[in-house]
């Protein structure tokens, strides 16, 4: 069973930031030499996640950042003493994993789709893990 895996680091610049990582994920998919299969993207952090959404218009990512900030404000009546409970909650809402098909050796996303790393407690250096199987 052909498969491949890899990881890479990203550095965020803001506390809350959706960062397009599609190009790097696609490179790892191509290196895996899997013709038809599945790509799993996993973020091993409790205050960051990953999602697939529109990548053509950067305002979409900014709108997601802003709306989740309104839904889960930084300063609320949280019990967690580190001051980042909102980041943990946003990670629960978005999730740490996405999957996408691999077709003809390439990451197969919709026309407007991109893979976004979702930083909720930055700026930080984070790890993204990618696994491709057939």
SS (H, E, C) 66-85: HHHHHHCCCCCCCCCCCCCH
Task: Determine the pLDDT at residue 4.
Answer: 82
- Reported as half-sphere exposure (CB side, CA atoms, 13 A), residue 80 has a value of 12
The structure's pTM equals 0.96
Task: Determine the pLDDT at residue 19.
Answer: 98
**Mean pLDDT of the region 47-63:** 97
Indicate the Cα dihedral angle 10, 97, 59, 9, nearest 10°. 0
Domain count, the chain: 1
- Using CA atoms, how far apart are residues 130 and 74, in angstroms rounded to an integer? 30
Work out the percent of the chain whose per-residue pLDDT is above 70: 99
Residue 35 has pLDDT above 60, yes or no: yes
Q: Which domain, by its residues, includes 116?
A: 3-133
CB distance 98 to 50 below 8 Å: yes
**Mean pLDDT of the region 84-91:** 98
Residue 25 has pLDDT above 90, yes or no: yes
Q: What are the structure tokens assigned to 98, written together?
A: 């996405």
Task: Determine the pLDDT at residue 90.
Answer: 98
Residue 1 has pLDDT above 60, yes or no: no
Mean pLDDT for the chain overall = 96
Q: What is the CATH number of the domain that holds 34?
A: 2.60.120.460
């Amino acid at each position: 069973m052909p498969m491949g895996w890899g990881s890479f680091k990203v550095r965020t610049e803001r506390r809350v930031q959706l960062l397009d990582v599609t190009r790097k994920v696609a490179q790892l998919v191509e290196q895996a030499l899997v013709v038809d299969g599945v790509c799993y993207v996993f973020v091993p952090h409790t205050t960051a996640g990953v999602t697939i959404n529109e990548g053509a218009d950067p305002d979409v990512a900014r709108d997601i950042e802003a709306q989740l900030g309104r839904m889960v404000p930084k300063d609320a009546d949280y019990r967690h003493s580190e001051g980042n409970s909102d980041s943990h909650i946003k990670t629960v809402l978005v999730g740490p994993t996405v999957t996408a098909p691999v077709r003809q050796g390439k990451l197969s996303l919709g026309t407007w789709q991109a893979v976004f790393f979702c930083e909720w407690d930055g700026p930080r250096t984070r790890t993204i893990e990618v696994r491709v199987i057939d």
